[in-house]
Amino acid sequence: MFNSYFSFQGHTMNPHYEVLFDKVPIGPVVAPNRFYQVPHASGMTEANPRVRAAFRGLKAEGGWGVVSTGAVSIHPSSDDSPLPYARLWDDNDIHAHALSCDAIHQHGALAAIELWHGGASVMNRSSRIAPYSPSGVGWAATHVGFMGQLRPKIMDATDIQDVLRWQGQAAIRAKKAGFDIIYVYAGMGYLPYQFLISEYNRRDDAYGGSVANRVRFVHELIEATRDAVGDSCAVALRISLEELRAKSSNHFESEAHEVVSLLSEAPDLWDVKMDSSPTDCSASRFRPEGSHESIIDFVKQITDKPVVGVGRFTSPDTMTSQINRGILDLIGGARAGIADPFLPNKIKAGREDEIRECIGCNICISSWHDGVPVRCTQNATAGEEWRKNWHPEKFNRTSSEDRLLIIGAGPAGLEAALIAAKQGFQVTLSDQSKNMGGRLNFETALPGLSTWRRVIDYRLYALKQMNNVDLYSNSELSRDDILELGHERVVIATGAKWTKSLYSSLEIPVGELNQPNVYTPDDIAAGIKINGPVLVYDFDNYYLGGVLAEKLAAQGLSVSYATPAGHASAWTIMTNEQPFVHQNLENAGIPVITQVLLQSHENDTIGLANIFTEKLQQLAAKSVLIVGLRRPNDSLYQTLISNPNATLAAGIKSVDRIGDCLAPGAIVHAIYSGHDYARNLVTTRSNLYLRDIPIAVNPPGAVI
């Protein structure tokens, strides 16, 4: 049976936040409050309708007044394969989406659907239809996952009418599924956006040239949607304004002002955003909370219709300010609602200090690029609500009296301690360091990463409120100490250590460069001073190599950055960070050398070889910092399991590893590892997770 950890009793909402719970009319429907989960990708398609319904429904349970889908294709000519995208092409899709609508409505929220045609920005790899575009201008992406060789066709009058018809047909299906708000999506480089932007739209007919002509297609999409659904559903326009705001207009402050003026009364709701994923969903390293305001702040001055926008809002004070200053009518959330689906309810209950705040790491976005259901560093239950029956605020209560000793208070240890304690275990959490938090104590002090400290703060705050948890820092435990303490279950969460491994043309770590003046991130964390010039050699490919290069440059050292990959911090393309990583390195005066192997370091000279051609180059450097391979710190675990008779005699039933001690990874992996371990103390699954299946009321090929 579930036990609700947060009862929401005994607290009172801060009256300053009451405005967030006002009802907001949106055309013919009414949002029960101002919390609006805007459309965002979830990686959950019609292949996972139950996973999707549980994920969206939980937002409504948590207090979000409107809960939206991600992009939903209206026709096979909008095919984003192999990336995960939803469809509304036939009646089978209606049934799949109806599950989400029912889950959302069950908790009194409105359900919104983002109908979508990708135009020239999709490659139609599965449908093999030539992509549609206003003028044959294709998206020349530099990310391999978005590249394709089929160029778009120029839409003729018949094509335009087809898209309008498909939009109307999809809107009718959406209404049948139970959606209350139907979107026209004119943003992020997709087809309606392409008509708005002059670089894409070079037409000389009624749909091109002047802004008034370029806006015509969007206006007709809105009309087609309204004609299809009548007066029972609201029609929303989601529009990107970043590029339009930067363009001058003869009679308006910008083309953005002109577009909004021309369409001001057409939709029932304006959903305003940026133009590209890196700027719209920027990581906290590069953009603060509420960073969209300078672009979208004018919209409410032009239209009387309600406006929703985003900005990685986690602070109710920031949200209230946006409402009171007339920037927004509804507080949009995507990442904040993934990190804590119960954010609205916690504010309403006066428990805002218990919000699991988004850290802006963008692991959620990387999940979509990976083609899997959404993952979250802060919230391990995201995407697992149906598959594993994990609820972020409810926990099965243990009947066991086993006491749990967790050694290591990094991300995995903190999460395991918190979830085990919420299930009723008596938990002891021990760490050898003065401050709990593990690797995050060092990393969150690095340039741009301070927001990530929320991973520590949220968990430590919660643990300190609980009377079944004992916290011990400055406590290094040996095997004999553990055997004497009398706990029935022991968990080792002692993290991992960086090595001096090199990188091979086989694309694997090989050997080690064990020489003087060769360092790892652990040396920097320990405060060891290194001499410049410094080469940072990075084949970890995530954030740390670039951030450490910035840190060393800020200390006045001459720093170069090298990697075997094609970009600095190459994997950050998945988290929307890569453009800004390169900008930061350039601004710090750090040259970037790509596609090279580190071969030698002798006499203050680095030997680098091109990974493809083996061409050699030399670089002057006194020191080398290698950010590459990590290995588990598992010696304590190995010592304990080496003598099972001794652990059994001490009353220890199990010895386990979690987090980096089990398998080094990103923080999200450590949090998940700790969470999964703790949940399984109470609920042992017979399988890894429930496997979802599509809904097929009508067989393939049926005329419907």
Q: Over the stretch 41-61, which tens digit does the pLDDT of each residue have? A: 999 999 999 999 999 999 999
Q: 702 versus 231: which is more confidently predicted?
A: 231
Quote the CA–CA distance of 368 and 334 in Å, as a whole number.
13
Contacts of 72 (CB under 8 A, 6+ apart): 85, 86, 87, 88, 97, 113, 114, 115, 116, 170, 174
Backbone angles phi and psi of 199, in degrees to 5: -65, -30
Give, in degrees to the nearest 5, the angle at Cα 456 between 455 and 461: 115
Tokens of 493: 């969460």
Quote the CA–CA distance of 540 and 561 in Å, as a whole number.
13
Question: In 131-163, which positions are buried (b, 16+ CB within 10 angstroms) versus exposed (e)?
Answer: bbbbbbbbbeeeeeebeeeeebeebeeeebeeb
Q: Over the stretch 114-154, which tens digit does the pLDDT of each residue have? A: 999 999 999 999 999 999 999 999 887 787 878 888 899 99
Q: What is the pLDDT of residue 359?
A: 98
For the segment 451-468, the average pLDDT, to the nearest whole number, is 98
Quote the CA–CA distance of 110 and 218 in Å, as a whole number.
24
The catalytic residue among 5, 36, 132, 190 is 190
Tokens of 331: 């507080």
Backbone angles phi and psi of 148, in degrees to 5: -160, 165
Contacts of 26 (CB under 8 A, 6+ apart): 66, 110, 181, 234, 236, 268, 269, 306
Q: What is the pLDDT of residue 1?
A: 43
Cα torsion 308, 311, 314, 316: sign:
negative
Confidence of residue 561 (pLDDT cuts 50, 70, 90): very high
Give the 3-state secondary structure of residue 18.
helix
Map tokens 């009353």 to a residue: 651
For the segment 69-78, the average pLDDT, to the nearest whole number, is 97
Mean pLDDT score of the chain, rounded to an integer?
95
pLDDT higher than 70, residue 195: yes
pLDDT higher than 50, residue 580: yes
> Of 69, 141, 134, whose CA–CA distance to 104 is shortest?
69
For the segment 438-449, the average pLDDT, to the nearest whole number, is 97
> Of 633, 590, 692, whose CA–CA distance to 431 is shortest?
633
| DSSP at 209 | S
Tokens of 105: 């409505």
- Which spans in 390-438 are helix H? 411-422
Q: Over the stretch 271-286, which tens digit does the pLDDT of each residue have? A: 999 998 889 999 999 9
pLDDT above 90: percentage of residues in the chain: 94
Q: What is the pLDDT of residue 141?
A: 78
pLDDT higher than 70, residue 9: no
Q: What is the pLDDT of residue 496?
A: 98
Q: Over the stretch 81-98, which tens digit does the pLDDT of each residue have? A: 999 999 999 999 999 999
Quote the CA–CA distance of 100 and 57 in Å, as a whole number.
7
Tokens of 281: 């969903």
**Contact call for residues 83 and 110 (beta carbons, < 8 A):** no
If you compute the radius of gyration of the chain from its CA atoms, what whole number of angstroms results?
27
> Of 222, 233, 227, 224, whose CA–CA distance to 180 is shortest?
233
pLDDT above 70: percentage of residues in the chain: 98
Q: What is the pLDDT of residue 15?
A: 95
For the segment 362-371, the average pLDDT, to the nearest whole number, is 94
pLDDT higher than 90, residue 697: no
For the segment 682-691, the average pLDDT, to the nearest whole number, is 82
Q: Kindly list the distances between the CA atom of residue 580 and the CA atoms of 282, 295, 315, 349, 627, in Å, as whole numbers in the listed order.
A: 9, 19, 25, 38, 20
Q: What is the pLDDT of residue 145?
A: 78
Confidence of residue 698 (pLDDT cuts 50, 70, 90): confident
Q: 686 versus 623: which is more confidently predicted?
A: 623
Q: Is 672 a catalytic residue?
A: no
Strands (E), 460-593: 469-472, 489-492, 496-498, 501-503, 509-512, 518-519, 534-538, 559-562, 592-593
Q: What is the pLDDT of residue 4?
A: 54
